[in-house]
Structure 1
Amino acid sequence: MTNIYKSAENSKSLRKLAESTTLAGLFSLAAVMVPNGAIADEAAEINEDTGFEEIVVTSRKRSESMYDVPISINVVSESMIENMGATDFTDLLRSVPSLTAYQNGPGRTRIFIRGIANGGGNDNDTQNQETVSIYLDEIPISLGAMNPELSLFDLDRVEVLRGPQGTLYGAGAMAGTIRLVSKKPNLSEIEGKAEAELSTVRHGTENYGFKGLVNVPIIEDKIAIRASGYFRHNGGYIDNVATGEKDINDGSTKGVKIAVRAMITEEFTADFSFFHHDYSDNGRPEDFDATPLFTRDSTSFDGYDDEMQIYNMTLNYDLGWANLVSSSSYFDRHIINRRSLDLLFTLALPPGITPHELVDDTTLDVFAQEVRLSSTTDSDLQWTVGGYFDKKDTLYLNTFPVPGADAVLGIPSSDFGAPADHLFFGFDDLTVKTFAIFGEAYYSIDQFTITAGLRYFNWQQDIDFFQSGLFNGGSNSDPRPQSKEDGFNPKLNISFDVNDNMLVYAQVARGFRYGGINGAIPEAVCADELADVEREGGDTRFFDSDKTWNYEVGAKGTTEDGKLSYNAAYFYIKWQDMQTSRSFDCGFGFRENVGGATSQGIEVELNAHLTEGLTLSLGGSYTNSELSEDVPNLSAVKGDRAPFVPEYSFNGSAEYVFPIANNMDAFIWANLQYVGERFTEFNRTTANDRKMEEYTIANLRIGVEWENLEISLFANNLLDSHGVVRALRRPPFDPDAAIRVEPRTIGVTVRSNF
């Protein structure tokens, strides 16, 4: 199949894309000497025979044209990231059909694909596990509701793999996988790039940021180093009417990445990388329902600090008949999340105690090792086999320090097993070990290709709990028995090359998310609710893994002249033993398995080159995700829609590039994003359910390019939509609140490269 994506001869938009790639500090990744059969770093290549551009991806852990991969995959290129001015996941992924993303602030992002969303649970819960796995290159970085908000600078592309990816990516990929693919050091050329941005937010203050990178060959064609760094200040736009403070949700991000590539021999390449990221803010971007838009009335403290380091070593050896890859990663992260509990002081505590915050302190250490072997011969049979191991240690401290509490109450906290002036003190100490063996084989018979994959997994989990303090009714330590499980994830795919430009496929695949151990619930304050669960035959101590079976058919390809490309899929998913969170009135809760759900829908993407310099991209999805049976524990019935999933979503963008002088082009880029209505609960009639109305966002960017310089003006959320991305129902401790899309932001960006 000849895969044509864009015309290099007829489209100045393509030339702009190539220039944007240059602006990012990559003159030609094709010049990087990657051994035969190694995973390629470049996202795009020009087909010399046709003069057209192909999108190259590594979603199946081998270098392939996007239109040769018989799965539903969306690729967000560097040019698209720059046009959108995307600084976080929610900005970037809002343009991907069948994907929903929301956040409680940077570093607190939840992602759902194809309607596999159950919501609920404490975002800081160590057992609030993901349904979508996230990788930075070879490194797994997912963390439930606290997925890290990494800088999108110096990325080659973002690959979104829709549907279960359980054979190659394992647990947590039951709905899909997102891969952030970095640019690799260039062994042959010195490169550099600098970027500055200044903008202002309506209802708020200024944003400003700086980014830079340099690539230097230490020994030409042998060793190179690539270093990049960034700093960004996010201006706040939420005011505190209780204290008079303005723009309290301001924050800052900074980071550095260093990558080294060494071509040891023609067959052996070693890549080393280090990444440091640091984010902090003074409060979540939420406003209260009881106060005016973009305001709140907290009297205690909010804030969030998130620091992480990521280390990776990837060794790549070409054996001639196969490519051997070893990836060793270490990831550590420390998060401090401070949350106000104003109403608690108003209603429950005596005068004389100063309002203070609930503090969640999470430390995460992850080691991951993968070794895989992929065939490289010119044969009808291709294959990939490998092994995977990881160990994740998580220590979660949940504390409620209240200065002066012991003196005012006349009761020392130590009487309840807690440190001085702590109304609550507890921790979860969690260790999870995962082992897997996986393989996929691809066999071609004429125009047919059959893909079969299988992954054997084995995981075990150990956890210790400790809880103390007045609000816990005393102290208790509860070491739990080990939780463990093993099993298989199969996959079968049949694809057919209709002609050189069109591929159709059918696939069935299984995904899973491992189970776990719930935290201890104090009987002293939750006796009635615990008795209810016992009468139901439930167990608050454990919950099992849940699984998805995904059935889909799809088509992708281009017209013969390459001016139109398309990607469409229909999916039907059965979700079994669904994990959900149940909350008690006593303020505690647990995760449990309840019933099942189905999700079915259609996703479509089109890219068209209408005239010279003018391109159009359209994407949309329909998703019907609902319970397949009654779930009394959720007060929900068959047919209730899944929370946080819009039935319809749509996005479209257009770009026009035209010359205005010698070596100078101008461009106009416009984008429209529509998100349908969503709800926060399965049951529409419960007091906890909140409706999030549909909203539309318009973005615009205009600019000029001259040689190595680009200057652009932009307006994000041009129409100043107040769309709600997350509604929060939080009594009794705080009033209802909403997190909205960032108000209209207008600014300027300057980029230069050498």
Structure 2
Amino acid sequence: MAAGVWWEAMPVLNFRFAVSLLAVSSFAVLPSAPVHAAVRRSIAVAPGPLDRAIAVLAQQAGVDIGSAEPGLEQARAAGVKGVLSASDALDRLLAGTGYAAQRLGPDSFRIVRRRIAPRPVRAVPKPVVLVVAPVVPDTEPAPDVVVTATKRATSQLRFPGALTIFRADGIARVGADAANGMDRAIAATPILQGTALGAGRNKLFIRGVADSSFTGPTQSTANVYFGEVPVAYNGPDPGLNLYDVEQVEILEGPQGTLYGAGAIGGIVRLVPHPVDLARRSATVSGGISTTRSGAPGGDIAGMINLPLLRDAVGVRLVAYNLVEGGYIDDVLRKLRNVNRVSTTGGRFDVRVAPAHGWTIDAGIVAQHVSAPDLQYAERGAGSLARASLLAQPFEQQYLLGRIVVDRRWEDGLHLVSATGLVHRDADSRFDATRPGRPNVPIAYDTDERSRLFSHETRLSRTGKDGGGWLIGMAVIHARDAYARMYGAPNRLRDIVGVTNRTFDAALFGEGSVAVTPALTITAGGRLTHQRTDGDPIASLKTTNFIRGRSSTRVDPTLGASWLLTPSLAVYARYQSGFRTGGITVAAGVGRVADLVPDSIHVGEIGLRKERRGATGLAGSVGLSVTDWRHIQADLVDRTGFPFTTNLGNSHIRGVEASVDWVVLPGLLLDAAMFLNDTRVSDPDPALRRQVGTRLPNTPPFAASGSIGYAWALGGEARMSVDGGWRYVGRSTVGTQAPLDVSQGDYGAAQLGTTWSKGRVRLTGTIDNVFDVRGDRFAGGNPFALAARNEYTPLRPRTLRLGGAVAW
């Protein structure tokens, strides 16, 4: 019998006979039946209706689960996650639901209602009052949190490194709707920072490894992955919407051993909800927003999951549209709210399970971003206003195709083969009008064309007590063209841009050995051979200019995890990484240069605690030391023209801490901080930097915190309220004039509330409660920086009312 849930496969009148028949046949073949239920597997079942949660568990564990009990669709499961046997996972899933599991055979179970001995009840009049009680979570020990970005199932407690995980059902609500997206994750942790140029143009920074505010042809310091495939190689984060994303995992870097070039700051991995082969489901989410002194906005999104052939073939369709109302006025062109942003996209996934243990996932992600103007303001032009002669639009078309083959054996062996194709086109315009000639408009346009092919095949096995191993190979072929034009808007002329073509092939491996039940040692390395060829371009037509460069390097890793108690572990880790070099735009018009690869080495130690009950404390504290050599950075010169260079070396010292405290059932507090010191040493003499200057976009101190409380209103109704606050310390856009202008040094608060009953959820949020103006990490228009009056304000106080319905 195929693994799955079979109460829907026959009428209830025939069900008890089927269960009896299954029990007899199971015991009859017991000696030769495969013992699936005892095998430990990576299980990840999200909270939700019990019948759906059981269906997902049956599929993941490869067992049969049935029931004739009514009410399973009304009961709610708290979810379960960890490397567990089917029996243990089912027990944890059913805890607190009023149901229990009975084993019928080696790989089959029946769900029955728990029998509770009757108690004498004294009759009392039933009061007519509103019942308000805290939501009491499961009192069973919390399951291990599994980190998937490590490319093999790893317990969060035993992972030898710093990491942060956000889930859609957490207080940050990442992925619950189409609004805000990555901004929610950035607001929830000081470890993750980002620029504010706008969707599709932002850069992400992890743990202070930041190069500049400006986007150009260089690789980002933080790689973003959608599931198993990268979303880009060079350039900014394409800004994929996070709707229907199950969780966001942030692995602090570098991650050169597992992820190769570009992951010098770390990894941001978006984990989408997979196709459910057992149950039809759908959700619709939407909201409207209003911004003080700005234009209204709104969002709408939906998801449909359809099993076409139960437990064998299914599809999942996601679509969304988000409009962020503008709030910047242009006094010269007499326009209001010019910085409106529209994001439209979706996802189509197909899952096929051709045989036991096999899954094949294929999908397409498409997104279009359109912004008619930039979101910077100028001091002296009025409140949230500027004066520009030209509109400065941005448009991005993004397409990602992926196919992932997954094979799991009963002995814990796991094979993953993932292939991705990325197609990104982006066009930008900046107002390059000269200050002395305000009536003669000059435009500066960029035309970006990025193509990426990636493939990785790996084999792993996770053992007990944190042991296990991983081996794999990866191939990447990337082509990034960066064309530029300059002049009068109707008579633009080409100026030199660049095309970089990179071929990257790598072999990597990592192993963990449990020296004792408490101590696990991890070691690994990545052997990379890379070749980069660059050409200057005009109108995307290429001619050979600089001879290609080939390089071969090894990036090792060494880590240790020592379990002090069942819920407390200390870790240590060393790892290295690099970014590729190649031809790039140099300072001045019509010049190119050969960029030197940069490299990074990080050592860190830390302490991590997990909560093992319904209430209690969880958290971590860590210290890190970073040596960053030949830092690559996209900058602008005094006239506003972008260029890329190696700006020197840096030593970064950081202290980070986070705490997650369930004070009592329903009441949650969390807080986090990051303290760092970044200094530029051995600077490039041509850039006239002083030794000891701090890196840009790296506030010496950042912190965040939130508090939330949830309670029951009676019946299925639930209510929750939460509030959060984030502080970003002072930094600068750059380290030399005209970029040495102050930014940051602000705090912003957020409030939210949620009411839910059954499959209906209503939400309300207020962002930037105190209407703080601030100055976010962004450069705005590079050609206006010389005036030193440009800033990028926070979005003013914004109220959003939203709702969602699930089927």
TM-score w.r.t. the length of structure 2 is 0.80
1:6 — aligned with what? none
Describe the SS at the equivalent of 1:164.
coil
Count of aligned pairs between the two proteins: 687
Q: Once the 2 structures are TM-superposed, how far is the Cα of residue 692 of structure 1 from its aligned partner? A: 1.2
**Of 437, 445, 455, which aligns to 2:526?**
455
The answer as to 2:719 corresponding to 1:648 is no
The answer as to 2:57 corresponding to 1:31 is yes
Q: 5 Å matches for 1:331-342? A: 331-342=422-433
Q: Give me the whole-angstrom Cα distance separating, in 2, the residues matched to 1:721 and 1:290.
A: 18
Describe the SS at the equivalent of 1:724.
coil
Q: Give me the whole-angstrom Cα distance separating, in 2, the residues matched to 1:481 and 1:76.
A: 44
Whichever residue aligns with residue 722 of structure 1, its letter is R
Change (3 A) 1:44 1:448: same
1:492 — aligned with what? 558
Is the 1:166–1:512 Cα contact (8 Å) retained in structure 2? yes
Q: 5+ residue gaps in structure 2?
A: 1-43, 63-78, 83-87, 93-139
The answer as to 2:605 corresponding to 1:553 is yes
Cα deviations by residue, 1:89-135 (Å, 9 ceiling, x for unpaired): 23322322322211201111111122222216x52x22x22111110
Change (3 A) 1:589 1:669: closer
Q: 5 Å matches for 1:662-677? A: 662-677=715-730
**Of 107, 110, 115, which aligns to 2:208?**
115
2:303 — aligned with what? 213
Q: Once the 2 structures are TM-superposed, how far is the Cα of residue 369 of structure 1 from its aligned partner? A: 0.6
The answer as to 2:775 corresponding to 1:749 is no
Whichever residue aligns with residue 354 of structure 2, its letter is I
Q: Give me the whole-angstrom Cα distance separating, in 1, the residues matched to 2:738 and 2:489.
A: 34
Whichever residue aligns with residue 130 of structure 1, its letter is S
Change (3 A) 1:748 1:44: farther
Is the 2:191–2:207 Cα contact (8 Å) retained in structure 1? yes
**Of 432, 437, 440, which aligns to 2:507?**
437
Describe the SS at the equivalent of 2:437.
helix
Q: Once the 2 structures are TM-superposed, how far is the Cα of residue 319 of structure 1 from its aligned partner? A: 4.6
Whichever residue aligns with residue 332 of structure 1, its letter is H
Q: Give me the whole-angstrom Cα distance separating, in 1, the residues matched to 2:638 and 2:607.
A: 49
Q: Give me the whole-angstrom Cα distance separating, in 1, the residues matched to 2:639 and 2:764.
A: 52
Describe the SS at the equivalent of 1:92.
helix
1:534 — aligned with what? none
Is the 1:35–1:269 Cα contact (8 Å) retained in structure 2? no
Cα deviations by residue, 1:268-304 (Å, 9 ceiling, x for unpaired): 2111111111110111111123411311111212111
Is the 1:269–1:316 Cα contact (8 Å) retained in structure 2? yes
Q: Once the 2 structures are TM-superposed, how far is the Cα of residue 385 of structure 1 from its aligned partner? A: 0.5
The answer as to 2:675 corresponding to 1:613 is no
2:631 — aligned with what? 578
**Of 632, 649, 653, which aligns to 2:685?**
632
Moved more, 79-88 or 144-153: 79-88
Cα deviations by residue, 1:618-646 (Å, 9 ceiling, x for unpaired): 11111111123455333223322111111
Q: Once the 2 structures are TM-superposed, how far is the Cα of residue 587 of structure 1 from its aligned partner? A: 6.0
Is the 2:55–2:278 Cα contact (8 Å) retained in structure 1? no
**Of 361, 380, 389, which aligns to 1:299?**
389
Cα deviations by residue, 1:200-225 (Å, 9 ceiling, x for unpaired): 01121111111110111111111111
Moved more, 317-326 or 672-681: 317-326
Whichever residue aligns with residue 104 of structure 1, its letter is L
The answer as to 2:243 corresponding to 1:156 is no
Q: Once the 2 structures are TM-superposed, how far is the Cα of residue 601 of structure 1 from its aligned partner? A: 1.3
Change (3 A) 1:23 1:76: farther
Is the 1:43–1:56 Cα contact (8 Å) retained in structure 2? no
Moved more, 459-468 or 326-335: 459-468
Change (3 A) 1:26 1:54: farther
Whichever residue aligns with residue 623 of structure 2, its letter is Y
Is the 2:397–2:425 Cα contact (8 Å) retained in structure 1? yes
Q: Once the 2 structures are TM-superposed, how far is the Cα of residue 309 of structure 1 from its aligned partner? A: 1.0
Q: Give me the whole-angstrom Cα distance separating, in 1, the residues matched to 2:489 and 2:261.
A: 42
Q: Give me the whole-angstrom Cα distance separating, in 2, the residues matched to 1:591 and 1:252.
A: 30
1:73 — aligned with what? 163
Is the 1:466–1:478 Cα contact (8 Å) retained in structure 2? no
Describe the SS at the equivalent of 2:434.
helix
Change (3 A) 1:24 1:704: farther
Whichever residue aligns with residue 323 of structure 1, its letter is H
Whichever residue aligns with residue 517 of structure 1, its letter is I
Is the 1:27–1:191 Cα contact (8 Å) retained in structure 2? no
Q: Once the 2 structures are TM-superposed, how far is the Cα of residue 732 of structure 1 from its aligned partner? A: 6.4
**Of 186, 190, 196, which aligns to 1:103?**
196
Moved more, 651-660 or 561-570: 561-570
Cα deviations by residue, 1:221-265 (Å, 9 ceiling, x for unpaired): 111111111011111111111121111111211111111111110
Change (3 A) 1:481 1:26: farther
Change (3 A) 1:394 1:35: farther
Moved more, 644-653 or 20-29: 20-29
The answer as to 2:760 corresponding to 1:709 is yes
Q: 5 Å matches for 1:407-426? A: 421-426=491-496
Moved more, 673-682 or 153-162: 673-682
Is the 1:97–1:620 Cα contact (8 Å) retained in structure 2? yes
Is the 2:249–2:269 Cα contact (8 Å) retained in structure 1? yes
**Of 463, 466, 476, which aligns to 1:390?**
476
Q: Give me the whole-angstrom Cα distance separating, in 2, the residues matched to 1:20 and 1:374.
A: 24
The answer as to 2:535 corresponding to 1:509 is no
Q: Give me the whole-angstrom Cα distance separating, in 2, the residues matched to 1:598 and 1:341.
A: 36
2:114 — aligned with what? none
Whichever residue aligns with residue 512 of structure 1, its letter is F
Q: Give me the whole-angstrom Cα distance separating, in 1, the residues matched to 2:637 and 2:369.
A: 33
Describe the SS at the equivalent of 2:315.
strand
Whichever residue aligns with residue 518 of structure 1, its letter is T
Q: Once the 2 structures are TM-superposed, how far is the Cα of residue 191 of structure 1 from its aligned partner? A: 1.0
Cα deviations by residue, 1:498-546 (Å, 9 ceiling, x for unpaired): 1211111111111111111123777xx78xxx9xxxxxxxxx6212111
Whichever residue aligns with residue 696 of structure 1, its letter is G
Describe the SS at the equivalent of 2:500.
strand
The answer as to 2:375 corresponding to 1:324 is no
Moved more, 665-674 or 27-36: 27-36
Cα deviations by residue, 1:305-336 (Å, 9 ceiling, x for unpaired): 11111111101123555222110111101111
Describe the SS at the equivalent of 2:240.
coil
Determine which structure has more spread, i.e. the larger CA radius of gyration.
2
Describe the SS at the equivalent of 1:637.
coil
**Of 742, 767, 790, which aligns to 1:737?**
790
1:543 — aligned with what? 595
Whichever residue aligns with residue 57 of structure 2, its letter is A
Q: Which has the higher contact order (CA 8 A, sep 6+)?
A: 1
1:173 — aligned with what? 263
1:695 — aligned with what? 746
Is the 2:602–2:625 Cα contact (8 Å) retained in structure 1? yes
The answer as to 2:585 corresponding to 1:519 is yes
2:97 — aligned with what? none
Q: Once the 2 structures are TM-superposed, how far is the Cα of residue 588 of structure 1 from its aligned partner? A: 5.2
Q: Once the 2 structures are TM-superposed, how far is the Cα of residue 431 of structure 1 from its aligned partner? A: 1.2
